Structure 1
Amino acid sequence: MVEQIGWRNVTRLLVFSTDAGLHFAGDGKLGGIVLPNDGKCHLHDNVYSRGNSQDYPSVAHIAEKLREKNVQIIFAVTEDVTHLHVLPKCAVGTLSNNSHNILQIIVEAYNALTSEVVMENSKLPPGFHISYVSHCKDHKLRDGEQGRRCSDISIGDEVSFNVSITAPPCATSSHRPSRVIIKPQGYSEEVEVLLSPICGCSCQKDKVPHSPSCSHGNGTLECGACRCKEGRVGTFCECNQVESGEAVDSYLCHRDNASEQCSGHGQCVCGKCVCDKSSKKPNQAYYGQYCECSDFNCDQYQGLQCGGQGRCVCGVCECLPGFSGRACECPLSVESCLSHDGQVCAGRGVCHCGTCICQDPRYQGPTCDLCPSCPSVCTVHRECILCRAFSQSLNPKECETRCAHLNLTVVGQAALLALVPPSAGLHRCMELDTEGCRVHFLLRAGQKEGSVHIHVALERECPSGPNVVLITAVASASVVVLGVAFLLLWKLLTSIHDRREFARFQRELEKRRWNRVRPVQTIPSVSVCQSESKQ
């Protein structure tokens, strides 16, 4: 399945959304399918091809395959079927009727899945027993089933698990080596443990009873370790079990009446702290009388411990010369705060940790030299340039008062200003005078505060006046064209109206002619009476 989908060897999330229940193993018998599911993918052109020949998998079968492939499912289902979708190391979210909360369900489920670590292991050989002890972020020891998990974990938290595997007695025949996989649920990282019971050690024949290495003869040196006499404890049998009771050990291993022994980073043995090693970096360990020190838990800056500008000593950064701060993140040099004119933050702010803090709210930027709402340096000196070079804008008295600080140099053509090479502090300016002409000048701040050196070109770019003849001709032609067009339109509308009236007149004339009443011609009748005698 992993190969067909294209997953890499990472933690895999699968979002499944439905409003229906699920089928169980045995439901296929209703359709005459009795062959059990083999747990394989059977995808052909992204279509499952064994739906008519294999039964549905069981819940346990699905859970086993998910665990085998490191897949965690997020069920986004409707409220009436949430109780049906329950699997180990999976999250269930209630989907709304229009599915508008699908993204929220995925985010919350992902946070829930990644905030808990649950340890699991493969099947143990007969007779072996495994136990877990968890050291979670609250520094409380948990054993049993609770020792397999740590909850409420966020990025950067460190938790550890002590795993103990107990072998059966060696009274039976020798066991063959076997392997056990220990891993967190839903993650690809795993530890493989080779179990090979050793019922006898060849080094036991070289044991040294009452060895001086075992606290002046209080134990037997056997296979490089001390087997203590009854009543003695410790790595080198240095402690008296009666004198070094739990209360004494607890008192000696607590720092400043703290509730944790050995600061939560070690074990109390004979009244002394035996410090642990780091689970992330085995070559680094906690140290100190109460295991309170470490050289790997200092503050970080930009992903580096002590910002890469110091070393960690007992949880505190010792910065290199030129740096300060909890994570050595603050350079003492002001080089990064210098503006183009060599001033710190352009004289408008203070440099803190290599960054300018602008005191004038109008200015911004890395060196407080940007002011989007301020007029440009060219616009600021426009009026003085116009009055000094062209006698515009300001009256003579006001010009002399306000513009005395300008060192003005006049050149003839504007092209001469383009020949001046660019340099720091040089501004090329173009402003409009009171007549709408363009004035070109160069501006540079002087060495004295407030002084300005300006080179201005007397040649101005003035827009040409309007072409009166052309405008008059165009206007006249437009009037004539519009008049002719109006007459033609009037003539067309009049003709259409006359044609309609004439057609109506003809229809009325025809109607009157056919409706006229014609006179009836009466033929006179003559009656002739003849007598019989006459006949």
Structure 2
Amino acid sequence: MPLFLILLTTVEDTLLQSVSQVGGVCKLSTESSLRRCRTPDGKICSGRGKCDCGICVCEATDPGKFYGPRCDCHDWVCSTYNGKTCNDRGYCDCGMCECDEGWFGDVCQFQEDCNLPSKKSKELCKNTQGVVCSNRGTCHCGSCMCNNKDSKGLVTGHYCECDDSECLDEDNGEVCGGHGQCYCGNCYCAAGWHGDKCEFQCDISPWESKRRCTSPDGKICSNRGTCVCGECNCHDVDPSGDWGDIHGDTCECDERNCHATYDRYTDDFCSGHGQCNCGRCDCKEGWAGKKCEHPLSCSLSLESSMKKCRGTSNLSCFGRGQCQCGQCTCYPPGDSRVHGKNCECDDRQCENISGEVCGGHGYCSCGRCICEEGWFGKLCQFPRSCDLSEDQSKELCETSDNLMCSGKGSCHCGQCICRPQDWWVSGEYCECDDRECDKHDGLICTGNGLCNCGNCECWDGWMGNACEIWVGAEY
């Protein structure tokens, strides 16, 4: 009987909907119109649209935005970190994944039948600290099933490392205020919304917002900031003084370009011999060069001086020092690891993140590892002999989607050797793209750190998104 009543009500609503408007005039009373648009919690069109004669007109109907009879459907929760909908293993129906046969999970991330050995499965579930599912979930076929006993789904991430409770809006209790998607504790807002919890709405269109934020070179906020309602919030390094080091209406000014070596503790712009204007040095009389580093009293011309400092590189002093009158001063001074006439030798390149030189299996010669017998690799990390069978080795090199070294390398003794011709490919399974690491002065991580899976890991004494800031001892 209840099912019959539900069906009858549905048919009645459908019939009334079709006759609610005749000739463009609404035949429903205001009360009846709002009743049709009201959600069970009493909100009109879920607070995301306007009620027009019993029909909700949602704020946006573009893909990924709110839709449905009462603007209560959205597909953000169906998307994954790789940008796929339901991992391409199903389809999204009003924010819920309908998975293909053989798959399950919120985003169809789990396989019902597993062919992975238990040991391999657990290895794939370990986070960077070697903890299985961050101790906040269970491992199933190389994927983590996070513990969410409260049914709110706030423990997320590939290794259950994320706490999405940080995305909850204190006012309405919704994730990202109901106007965005939470990825690992950070809100990514829908078009027209902004704020840490997507709590503020723009009064201009997304197109107009983008137009206002576009820099003269055609990039959004010059790729140095985020666009919020037509205004750029620059990714500043040191926002002290009247403005920060990165400023301008479209973040087009980068004062870091005026430093020979960027030091947040000094105002040594333009080598102390000029004025920095929107990232460009205007030199005092008697000085020349991109950073006013060349004294005109020098017997060499600016071009000759730069040529002597470049050596075989396209960068002055290999990007690791300051050129003055044809002579390179390597920085930071006192660090014997950076040396050579043109600072061409950087022995820091022989170290891994923990500071070990050539993996303990060789020695460093001008930034290159000379490996001991029986070892090879950029950091002498691969043994030439192997006590694993071919099958055992390949098993350790397979990713969770059964790809060998992500399809970007070869497997040797259970370790992936990424293709050397693709210098940007790295990671335990060749899954990382080092081109995503920040640059400064044309160098990835400014040459002062290692690119670790898209993020710069800076050496001691350096910090910043691109390891461009010297915070070590004064020099």
Q: Normalising by the residue count of structure 2, what TM-score does the alignment of the two structures yield?
A: 0.27
Q: Normalising by the residue count of structure 1, what TM-score does the alignment of the two structures yield?
A: 0.24
